[in-house]
């Protein structure tokens, strides 16, 4: 594949290429199943799965190498909507979605489901308010839009800062997830796993930029969705929950409610650090404050979705405005496939552990029998599970079964007694999810720094070669920094993810939306909106996180609820008391709203 002719030829053959790839992956899966029958252990299968898939991603990354600016920043704007949908879904579904979402639902109940609604409903906003218009604009990065729409380096710089903070918070969580998975599958220490994960991530993105990331993300989506759906459907069939469990697990949910009433949801007599017992009802909304917490969480996640640069920039890569819109639809469809499976997984796994009528149950069983189960031993050995007979009655009580929420997805195949090959598949899927998101985020950060900060602000005369070298150096440096912070394990996988959404929506949501939807919005207003929203949100986060009083029951996961209103008010007020944007700027906004005609920014800039 030579540099010049590769583009069109490759794009024309996408169906064939990814069809063969999918069959190849399924073939590898079958091969591993045979290897298992021949007597290979779980360890070997896990290692083979990870190494095989990462080798494929790295190959795609190598084949996509480029020295062209538009290929590096926006994949040459030739990604068809269907494939951009898959790439966005992989970009979007992080280690948190894959590894931690079902576990969160398992332990979190109704309040937690705000994430499920928030992380899907946000795409309605992306489609209605942002994606088609940003595509028409023709920017390379999100700060590129802010900088051009409002004019001036200060506005651009503010957007870069918010982008870096939001995305960096997020990327450490992803590298943390790759570390967790690699540590478990390869039996290496977590701190080493983190660096191993980073290496895989950089192999995909460094040479090809957005082009490399796009085509690896499509490959990663295929792996991650197979890896998520196969175990759930297999488990459901093995345990007699129905062929496709998604539409029939209502009974299981009701049965869990019965069992919860029977066992009682009580806190553990003695806590085990880092692990949890089930204390929240599976689904028991209280109304009132409970509802308020749900919708505020959902709203922060939705507005965050519509402001996170690594997602928005995916819609810069389609050939047309219409394709950009269409690809938002595909994105949400592909995301939906995982998100409507996660609650089914959480419900069925919980039922298997709780229901004494099922062979897989642990609650109510003798403690010695449970401690001898192979999967319990495996996870106990790495400190992610613990069964302690705290009341000394020789039986496992609901509040004596401790688990790290993150492991629900990874442990489910073992709990249900599925073959090792499934666990290997799940590990590969989790790795794909975390790597693909980390790739998108690292690229978003490095591109903003190289294009907006370095090229547009510091050295506008830099030639193409220099720009692309700077972009790559930044990618490596930022990746290393993120891995270093991840290896310190400051927050759980999910805490940091919610923060990223809140940072993004506090600072960027209104400047982006009003930049398109309100012609009167001007530079001073946008700068005020970005700074005031971001600072207010951050100050509130620090305040609440350190034990300060909460305003309107808004905790540290929802600080966007403080940042966003401040941002909106500041932006509107300052815009109105300062001069309206000039005629040229207003004409530019008009032009952005029309799907036809040339993009606002030149094809390469």
Partner 1 sequence: MSQDNRRLHWAKTSRLTYWVLAIWVAFAFVIPWFAKDLDAGSFLGFPLGYYMIVQGSLIVFVLLIVGQNLLQDRIDEECGLSDE
Task: List residues near partner 1 by CB under 8 A.
Answer: 110, 113-114, 116-118, 120-121, 123-125, 127-129, 132, 246-251, 253-254, 283, 285-287, 290-291, 294-295, 298-299, 302, 320-323, 325-326, 328-329, 332-333, 336, 339-340, 343-344, 590, 593-597
Between 389 and 591, name the residue whose CB sits nearer to partner 1.
591
Of 537, 531, 535, 529, nearest in space to 502 by CA: 537
Comparing CB distances to partner 1, the nearer of 91 and 452 is 91
Q: Would you say 204 or 561 has its CB closer to partner 1?
A: 561
Residue 197 belongs to what H/E stretch? helix 190-205
Residue 246 CB, nearest distance to partner 1 (Å)? 7
Q: How far is the CB of 248 from partner 1 (least distance, A)?
A: 7
CB 142 within 8 A of CB 159: yes
- The residues facing 276 across adjacent strands are 403
Instruction: Compute the distance between CA of residue 473 and CA of residue 445 in angstroms, rounded to an integer.
Output: 12
- Residue closer to partner 1 by CB (options 49, 334) is 334
Indicate the SS3 state at residue 310. Answer: helix
**What stretches of 448-559 show up as alpha helix (H) in DSSP?**
464-486, 493-517, 523-545
Can you tell me the distance from the alpha carbon of 308 to that of 166, in angstroms, rounded to the nearest whole number?
8
Nearer to partner 1, 250 or 460 (CB): 250
Task: Determine the Cα–Cα distance for residues 129 and 106; give it in Å rounded to an integer.
Answer: 33
**Residue 540 Cβ vs partner 1, minimum distance, rounded to whole Å:** 22
SS3 state at 35: helix
* Nearest to partner 1 of 300, 410 (CB atom): 300
Which residues are within 8 A (CB) of 419 and not within 5 positions of it... i.e. 6 or more apart? Answer: 33, 36, 413
Taking the C-alpha atoms of residue 408 and residue 451, their distance in angstroms, rounded to an integer, is 41
The nearer residue to partner 1, 184 or 325, going by C-beta atoms, is 325
Shortest Å, Cβ 594 to partner 1? 6
Least distance CB 146 / partner 1 (angstroms): 21
Q: CB-wise, 129 or 457, nearer to partner 1?
A: 129
Q: Which neighbouring-strand residues pair with 366?
A: 395
In 13-141, which residue ranges form alpha helices assigned H by DSSP? 14-37, 42-63, 69-74, 81-92, 95, 101-112, 114-125, 131-137
> How near is the Cβ of 247 to partner 1 at its closest, in Å?
6
Q: Helices 523-545 and 153-186: crossing angle, nearest 10°?
A: 40
Structure tokens at 52: 């095989």
Q: Three-class SS of residue 61? A: helix
- Give the helix ranges, DSSP H, for 206-249: 209-238
CB-facing half-sphere around the CA of 271: CA atoms within 13 A: 7
**Separation in Å, CA 279 to CA 108, 217, 253, 270, 284:** 9, 37, 16, 14, 12
Task: State the DSSP code for 276.
Answer: B
Closer to partner 1 by Cβ: residue 178 or 323: 323
Q: Which is nearer to partner 1, 332 or 432 (CB)?
A: 332
Smallest distance from partner 1 to CB 588, Å:
14
């Amino acid at each position: 594949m030579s540099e010049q002719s590769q583009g069109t030829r490759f794009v024309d053959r996408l169906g064939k290429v990814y069809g063969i790839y999918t069959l190849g992956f399924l073939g590898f899966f079958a091969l591993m199943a045979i290897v298992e029958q021949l007597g290979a252990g779980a360890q070997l299968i896990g290692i083979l799965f990870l190494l095989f898939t990462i080798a494929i991603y790295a190959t795609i990354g190598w084949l996509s190498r480029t020295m062209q600016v538009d290929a590096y920043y926006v994949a040459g704007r030739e990604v068809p909507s269907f494939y951009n949908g898959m790439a966005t879904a992989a970009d979007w579904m992080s280690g948190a979605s894959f590894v931690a979402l079902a576990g969160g639902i398992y332990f979190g109940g109704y309040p937690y489901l705000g994430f499920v609604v928030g992380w899907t409903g946000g795409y309605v906003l992306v489609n209605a308010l942002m994606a088609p218009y940003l595509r028409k604009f023709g920017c390379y990065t999100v700060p590129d839009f802010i900088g051009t729409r409002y004019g001036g380096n200060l506005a651009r710089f503010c957007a870069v800062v918010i982008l870096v903070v939001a995305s960096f918070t997020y990327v450490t969580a992803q590298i943390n997830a790759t570390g967790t998975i690699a540590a478990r599958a390869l039996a290496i220490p977590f701190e080493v796993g983190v660096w191993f994960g980073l290496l895989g991530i950089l192999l995909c993105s460094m040479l090809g930029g957005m082009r490399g990331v796009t085509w690896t993300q499509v490959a990663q989506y295929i792996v991650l969705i197979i890896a998520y759906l196969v175990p759930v459907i297999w488990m459901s069939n093995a345990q007699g929950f129905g062929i496709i469990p998604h539409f029939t697990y209502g009974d299981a949910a009701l049965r869990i409610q019965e069992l919860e009433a029977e066992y009682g949801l009580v806190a553990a007599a003695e806590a085990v650090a880092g692990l949890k017992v089930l204390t929240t009802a599976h689904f028991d909304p209280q109304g009132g404050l409970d509802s308020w917490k749900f919708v505020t969480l959902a709203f922060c996640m939705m507005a965050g979705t519509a402001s996170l640069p690594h997602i928005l920039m995916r819609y810069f890569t389609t050939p047309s405005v219409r394709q950009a819109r269409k690809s938002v639809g595909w994105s949400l469809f592909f995301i939906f496939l995982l998100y409507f499976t996660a609650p089914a997984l959480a419900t069925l796994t919980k039922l298997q552990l709780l229901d004494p009528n099922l062979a897989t149950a642990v609650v109510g069983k003798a403690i010695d029998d449970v401690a001898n189960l192979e999967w319990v031993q495996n996870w106990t050995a790495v400190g992610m599970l613990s069964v302690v007979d705290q009341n000394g009655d020789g039986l496992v009580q609901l509040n004596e079964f401790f688990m790290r929420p993150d492991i629900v997805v990874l442990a489910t195949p073992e709990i249900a007694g599925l073959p090792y090959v499934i666990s290997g598949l799940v590990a590969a899927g989790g790795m794909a999810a975390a790597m693909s998101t980390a790739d998108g985020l690292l690229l978003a950060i490095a591109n903003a720094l190289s294009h907006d900060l370095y090229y547009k602000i510091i050295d506008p005369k830099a030639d193409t070669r220099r720009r692309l070298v700077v972009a790559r150096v930044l990618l490596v440096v930022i990746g290393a920094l993120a891995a270093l912070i991840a290896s310190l394990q400051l927050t759980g996988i999910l805490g940091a993810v919610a923060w990223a959404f809140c940072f993004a929506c506090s600072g960027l949501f209104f400047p982006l939306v009003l930049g398109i939807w309100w012609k009167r919005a001007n530079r001073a207003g946008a700068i005020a909106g970005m700074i005031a929203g971001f600072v207010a949100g951050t100050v509130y986060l620090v305040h609440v996180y350190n034990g300060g009083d909460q305003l309107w029951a808004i905790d540290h996961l929802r600080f966007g609820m403080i940042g966003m209103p401040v941002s909106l008010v500041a932006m509107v007020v300052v815009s109105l008391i300062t001069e309206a944007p000039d005629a040229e700027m207003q004409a530019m906004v008009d032009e952005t709203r029309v799907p036809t005609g040339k993009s606002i920014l030149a094809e390469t800039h």
